[in-house]
Amino acid sequence: MDFEAQRVIEALRSGVSSRAVGHYFSSARPELMGQISRRLDQVRDTGESGGLVVTGKYGEGKTHLLNTVFNLAHSNNMVVSLISLSKETPFDKLYLVYQKLVSNTYLPGRLQPGFEHVVQDITPNNPSALDLLTFSSKHLETDKLFYVLRSFLHVDDQDEKYLLMADLEGDFINNALLRKIYKRIFAQTVKYSVTFSKTRHSMDYFVFLSRLFKLLDYNGWVILFDETELIGRLGKKARLKAYNNMVAFLFPEKHSGLEAIFTMFALGSSYQEDVIESKHEYENLATTYVDRAQREPIEKVLNAIIAAPQLQPLNQDEILVVLQQVQDFHGRAYDWQPKIDVREILQASEHRGYLLRTRIRAAVEVLDQLYQYGQAGNIQINALGEPHYQEEELPSLDCCIDDAHS
């Protein structure tokens, strides 16, 4: 049996998108994937950063698209971060987003998330270290990361080294403790140009990481945000803050200094109607920010959401291609040859709803039943052979109850 195929079938059966499924089921929506591929090539070849918003209905493949992009980026030697926004990870609080992001950041060729191992390999006189020290002292909003990195590179106490690494991963060390560690190592006093605050200066950490990944010769950093529509559940001020944070990722060249990154936001297709229009976002923006220069970047975010490409439901031919893949994987997973036309599987799954996710789960269920019992619903297979249809309909529930009482 093919255990990788089993893993894919289990993911499809659960209805939960995964990187494995994204790796093998990547042929749908070629136009959009072509656009994304060109954007990734641009980041790789020029270092120019940018972002994209995509929308789609529930169950139509937004998360699957992000997983497909995940695998495409890794094949291009790019670092990838994939997270879903949630109540615990609201986009108006970037310090919480950063913590979650780091724990879901994967370097090319690595199965486990994180970047600690590559930071541990950097020595004080390494060119990357010298570049990062100069960069973090001059090009960020605060110079806290200069003191964190310099301390990390020279510290000999393992507990302190752990605390400094944890800071780089988003568990921010408090200023008093950092001053103490720095003074012990260098006999010098920390003098911040601007005192660090996680609520105001968390973007420094994103910019620092983008610089680190570039120096480590990766071809870029791809950041994928799912469930972005949850921004709509925030209060008015928090939503405007979240949009302002989106500016830094969608238009990084002008607004944040993120280097060689490509960011995608996936959100529900009803966001324009349910949030932007119903909650009067443009009016909120005008009353909150009198200065046109402050409003303009956030307006660009709202415009990008409205103009975002929407994932359209796959047509019948495209669904047939997907179901054929499902059938092939099922055969590989359980070492059998389902001799059934994929159109029969399509027909058997049609009554399960219009969502692609549920259609695929229904197809897997049909194949499971054929494999185990030789029949599925109104489809019956003799000795795993060709299908034929039973004319009789299944008895109704009322009939079964009457028979039981009699």
CA–CA gap between residue 244 and residue 292 (Å, rounded) = 14
The low-confidence residues of the chain, meaning pLDDT below 70, are 1, 18, 20, 22-28, 351-354, 376-406
Residue 36 is predicted with a pLDDT of 93
Residue 352 is predicted with a pLDDT of 63
Q: Would you call 71 exposed, middle or buried from its count of C-beta atoms within 10 A (0-12, 13-18, 19+)?
A: middle
CA–CA gap between residue 62 and residue 56 (Å, rounded) = 6
Q: What is the separation, in whole angstroms, between the first and last Cα of the chain?
A: 48
**H-assigned helices in 76-126:** 94-102, 116-120
Residue 380 is predicted with a pLDDT of 42
Residue 351 is predicted with a pLDDT of 67
CA–CA gap between residue 386 and residue 384 (Å, rounded) = 7
Residue 382 is predicted with a pLDDT of 41
Residues 370-406 have pLDDT tens digits of 888 877 665 443 433 343 333 334 444 454 455 555 4
Residue 391 is predicted with a pLDDT of 35
Tokens standing for residue 265? 């936001």
| The pairing of beta strand 387-389 with beta strand 379-381 | antiparallel
Residue 97 is predicted with a pLDDT of 98
Type and span of the H or E element at 340 = none
Residue 109 region by backbone torsions, left for phi larger than 0, else alpha for psi between -120 and 50, else beta: left
May I ask the CATH architecture of the domain 29-108+218-311?
3-Layer(aba) Sandwich (3.40)
